[in-house]
């Protein structure tokens, strides 16, 4: 019997979201990873500035 | 590649666009069950085998029950040593793994989630530090490393430790096997950006050395390890999404590998699994072919060389394959997780056809 006669159609609602192949996900992830790194660097710099200012205020007081 | 009318295929609605599938006897009835990782819906689905090779409706474990976001890969193993197989999933969206411990009857406790690595696309297990408890490894994106989470001994896990020395690209797949025969499980990682596999040998204490790299096809989205030529040493197979091939690397006996041999499979090979489908004692392979909505079965000639693949249609774009004797007839069957909210079970015709 042919497979297309035996295959039972999916009766559940079809979601607009789909799982993706790993290679496609990997290519999407790399720019995101780079962006996250850039954001983390910005956060680190900001934290250092805040720490410096706090120390300066404490020293002045 | 020849096409073949298939004799025994059934598809089941999954309702979650399954991106990966694994098999194991979750409820202890002697029949292999199915579990899928549904990336788009951040769900894990469990489908219990009714004993004759057909499956009940899925039970979902969702993000609200502790499962991380974007469950992408999945593995079944007994993490807490209670004799009941548990589930671990790698969650792409939030860089975590979720561990669901089996209640003993095929239902699962709410997930415990652990930070692992950015955008993990695979997951594998092994007792890396030899303490008798199964540990977890996942690949990471943007870090050129794998992340190892050691089991605390009770199914909870210590913070991830990254190993990336010798890895120069983004790791998208992992497998575990003792490739150098020293009694300690090693890690094999598929590196997408360099089209290589990286082999990380275990120091014996659960830490890993600098990776050795071997060329494979483009886009090694899945890697598995098994003894393909019967020499007692585990060999490597990758599914190469961008090349429509598998790469076979035979172990030279000491944990180093010969140059890869490529075999054509279907279009968009996203996953690969091993099993002796025709009962000749040699390990065959099957790939999930995304763009073709097929799987390809390649039979081993016994020396680690493979014949022309046979393609079988499934009910949607195939993202993952796994094997098990689902109907208990002594012959290994295949399951495909399809992007279109279905899984397809292909029962073996007892001669290695489906």
Give residue-wise pLDDT tens across range B322-343. 999 999 999 999 999 999 889 9
The ipTM estimated for the assembled molecules is: 0.83
Query: Per-residue b/e over A13-42, b at no fewer than 16 CB within 10 Å?
Result: eeeeebbbbbbebbbebbeebeeeeeeeee
Mutate to test the interface with A, among B92, B194, B292, B320 (most CBs of A within 10 A): B92
The answer for residues whose C-beta is within 8 angstroms of residue A59's C-beta and 6 or more apart is none
For A25, the closest of B6, B121, B242 (CB atoms) is B121
Enter the pTM of the model: 0.86
Angle at CA B40, nearest 5°, toward B34 and B41?
Answer: 70
Cβ neighbours, 10 Å, residue A11: 9
Report which of B139, B136, B144, B96 is spatially closest to residue B116, judged by C-alpha positions. Answer: B96
Indicate the pairing of strand B333-338 with strand B342-346.
Answer: antiparallel
Token readout for A8 is: 């039972």
Residue B50's Cα: distance from chain center in Å? 23
Give the chain A residue nearest B270 (alpha carbons). Answer: A21
Cβ-Cβ contacts under 8 Å for B210 (sequence gap 6 or more): B165, B166, B200
Instruction: Specify whether the CB–CB gap between B122 and B222 falls below 8 A.
Output: yes
| Of the candidates B294, B306, B304, the residue with the CA atom closest to the CA atom of residue B269 | B294
Hey, of A9, A17, A23, which one would you mutate to test binding to chain B, going by the most B CBs within 10 A of its CB? A23
For residue range A4-59, list pLDDT tens digits in order.
323 332 222 333 467 889 888 888 776 544 444 455 556 656 766 776 676 677 66
Q: What is the pLDDT of residue A14?
A: 32
Q: Residue B57 carries which DSSP code?
A: P
What is the mean pLDDT of the segment spanning B131-140? 97
Distance between CA B235 and CA B304 in Å, rounded?
Answer: 9
Q: Distance (Å, rounded) from C-alpha B44 to C-alpha B38?
A: 6
Cβ(B179)–Cβ(B214) under 8 Å?
A: no
pLDDT digits (tens, 9 = 90+) for B256-304: 999 999 999 999 999 999 999 999 999 999 999 999 999 999 999 999 9
- Asked whether the beta carbons of B33 and B25 are under 8 A apart, the reply is yes
| Interatomic CA distance for residues B190 and B208, integer angstroms | 16
What integer best gives the mean pLDDT of chain B?
93
């Amino acid at each position: 019997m042919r497979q297309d006669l035996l295959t039972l159609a999916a009766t559940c609602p079809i979601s607009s979201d789909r799982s993706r192949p790993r290679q496609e996900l990997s290519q999407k992830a790399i720019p995101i990873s780079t962006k996250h790194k850039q954001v983390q660097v910005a956060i680190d710099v900001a934290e250092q500035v805040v720490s410096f200012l706090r120390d300066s205020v404490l020293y002045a007081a | 590649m020849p096409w073949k009318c298939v004799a025994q295929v059934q598809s089941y609605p999954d309702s979650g666009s399954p991106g990966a599938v694994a098999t194991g006897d979750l409820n202890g009835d002697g029949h292999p069950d199915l579990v899928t990782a549904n990336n788009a819906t951040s769900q894990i689905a469990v489908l219990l085998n009714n004993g004759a090779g057909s499956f009940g409706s899925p039970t979902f474990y969702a993000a609200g029950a502790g499962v991380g976001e974007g469950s992408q890969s999945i593995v079944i193993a007994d993490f807490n040593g209670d004799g009941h197989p548990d589930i671990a999933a790698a969650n792409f969206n939030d860089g975590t793994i979720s561990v669901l411990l089996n209640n003993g009857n095929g239902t699962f406790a709410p997930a415990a989630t652990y930070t692992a690595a950015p955008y993990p696309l695979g997951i594998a297990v092994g007792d890396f530090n030899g303490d008798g408890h199964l540990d977890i490894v996942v690949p990471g994106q943007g870090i050129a490393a794998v992340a190892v989470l050691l089991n605390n001994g009770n199914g909870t896990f210590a913070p991830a430790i990254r190993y990336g020395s010798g890895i120069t690209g983004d790791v998208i797949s992992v497998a575990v096997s003792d490739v150098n025969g020293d009694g300690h499980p090693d890690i094999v990682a598929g590196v997408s950006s360099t089209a290589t596999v990286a082999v990380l040998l275990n120091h014996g204490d659960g830490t890993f050395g600098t990776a050795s790299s071997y060329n494979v096809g483009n886009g090694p989205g899945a890697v598995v390890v098994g003894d393909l030529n019967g020499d007692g040493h585990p060999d490597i197979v990758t599914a190469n999404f961008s090349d429509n091939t598998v790469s076979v690397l035979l172990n030279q006996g000491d944990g180093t590998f010969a140059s890869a041999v490529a075999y054509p499979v279907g279009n968009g090979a996203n996953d690969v699994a091993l099993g002796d489908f025709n009962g000749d004692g040699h390990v065959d392979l099957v790939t999930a072919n995304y763009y073709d909505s097929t799987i390809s079965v390649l039979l081993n000639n016994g020396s680690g060389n493979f014949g022309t693949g046979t393609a079988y249609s499934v009910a949607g774009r195939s993202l993952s394959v796994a094997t098990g004797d689902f109907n208990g007839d002594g012959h290994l069957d295949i399951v495909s997780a399809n992007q279109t909210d279905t899984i397809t079970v292909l029962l073996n015709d007892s001669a290695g056809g489906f």
